[in-house]
Structure 1
Amino acid sequence: MKRLALALTLALLIATPALAQRLRPADVDKLPSSPPALTENYGADANQVGDLRMPDTKTFGPGPHPVVIVIHGGCWWKGFATRQNTAALASRLTERGFATWNIDYRQQGDAGGGWPGSFKDWAAGSDHLRALARRYPIDLARVAVTGHSAGAHAALWVAGRHKLPAGSEIASPNPIRIGAVVGIDGPPDPGAELEQFEKGCGVPAVSGMFGGKPADQPKRYAEGSPQALLPLGMKSGLVSASLFLFPAAAERFVTAARKEKDQASALMLGGTGHFDVIAPGSPVWDQVEAFLVAQLKVEK
């Protein structure tokens, strides 16, 4: 029934040519998603909250299950997106056997959002898996992370934050071990992609997040850019829909990662809609799902 409802919803959303490859954020928010097993705060702020979804035990057994941290986008800007925007994505990954932890976080415009608060939220939200694993059958030896748009940057940064110097403002002790990461149509190198990203967002997303341009805040960009943290020491993947991640930028990341002996790959989807890539049932979803499932598997 869930898949039938999903197919019917998608049929309505893409009924006209104008929407066929151009779903909007609100369209994705309305897609069916499974109810979480748990909604829980990982911090004191109302935005520091996540939804845990667990695989069906009849299909996948009692666990412990591999887990994927899911981080939504929205230009890191209050009012643009919440975890509802990645609820359908998280639900679909859970249907494929992954536990998912879909988190919200403080964004620019929220008290404490931006630098360094948003980074600290991504870190704390990820590390909260340890608390969840004491109550749910989550395998902390098989942790992956994915994110969309600005959340792609966040996911790649979470994967690389173990490389931060101890004195970094956004470092935290004993970060949870990540085994794989996929960034979906978002910037692995925000400084290099500042103009393109801010044009797409329509707000000073990058310069606001980092407190200026790279020339103004070189240390922040060095510590907050996933590409600057290479090698990540894990399997990494990128999905390019050519809005917030142009093929050339994806190629630069993959080439740099491979040069550092990381296993890296990219799925290039041309001019696909930015939100189609996180919409189960969209014309490109089968390609995206296959890539995600393959790339997010972590071998013990």
Structure 2
Amino acid sequence: MEPGLERWAYGALWAALAGSLALRAARRALGPGRGLVLPLALLAGLQSLCRACLPLPLGLALAAAAACLLLWRASPRRLLPVASRAVLVTGLHSAFAGCDSGFGQATAQHLDAMGFRVFASVLDPQGPGAQELRRSCSPSLTLLQMDLTKPEDIKHVLQHIQAHTNSTGDLPFPCLAAYGTSKAALSLLMDTFRSELQPWGVKVSLVLPGYYKTGTTCNPAFWNQQKQRLVASLPQELLQAYGEDYVEEINRQFIQFMKVAAEDLSAVVNSITDGLLAANPAVRYYPGQGLGLMYFIHRYLPYFVQDLFLKGFFINPKLPRALRQGDHNDTKAA
């Protein structure tokens, strides 16, 4: 194949790509420019490989397919108008959090600023979290007292919303069995809802955030208090088998891990907003650095790789006292 023809063919591909990007930018139908740097660099690298290793027709076809994929990813998701939409925001991280702090409060503020009619559940309508929402949000925001563990609260809130509107995880984190179980159950429930509600035109998305600093969960005093409650409530035989130093080490690792928690909640809030307004929302959102990789490892790689990853980057429990040879022998002698 003549080098001149090859240069002309690939040059025409880049010209067509540049023209498409410029046209979309003029129509303001293009995502952030900084997000295009890496895809364009990868496309240039792929083109070099195609030119070096493949005949012109096959290489050009592969490069053109990659360019089409880049254009598709560069286009912002089509969002539905906010119009007069209403949304109920409950505790997004914990049943006991509500919109008093964390994800719930940040989401309520963001959606209110976008023009939604927001119903925000709070545990204490007179607490500092509720006062902050009254101060920072528009008069259309409605605060509703609700504890998600109390059915009567839920019923009251639903009745209020119906009267004021037109009605029409799952990663196996070590030492977080109850938390992981609840998230896995929630994930399966949302998958079921998505299937059952699809004929009604209702789309269901699940937001699985990474580790963020919300409420008291990033306060060392909170974890120390949890540790003391756990030690005080454990049966003596179980505490003897594990050892108080085992609990102390787990607590130390939790406190160490919380130091890497992200403070900026905007990625989670943006995922929730996209799920509400996108014409075709994602089934799952993974806001948080490296979270997509974590779920990929969990879903597609062998179990021993999952275990190594979790122990290397999350919590690596020490051996319980009863399984440590020296301590085990001392216990038997006693």
The TM-score, its normalising length taken from structure 1, stands at 0.30
Structure that is richer in helix per residue: 2
- Which structure's CA Rg is the greater one? 2
Structure that is richer in strand per residue: 1
The TM-score, its normalising length taken from structure 2, stands at 0.28
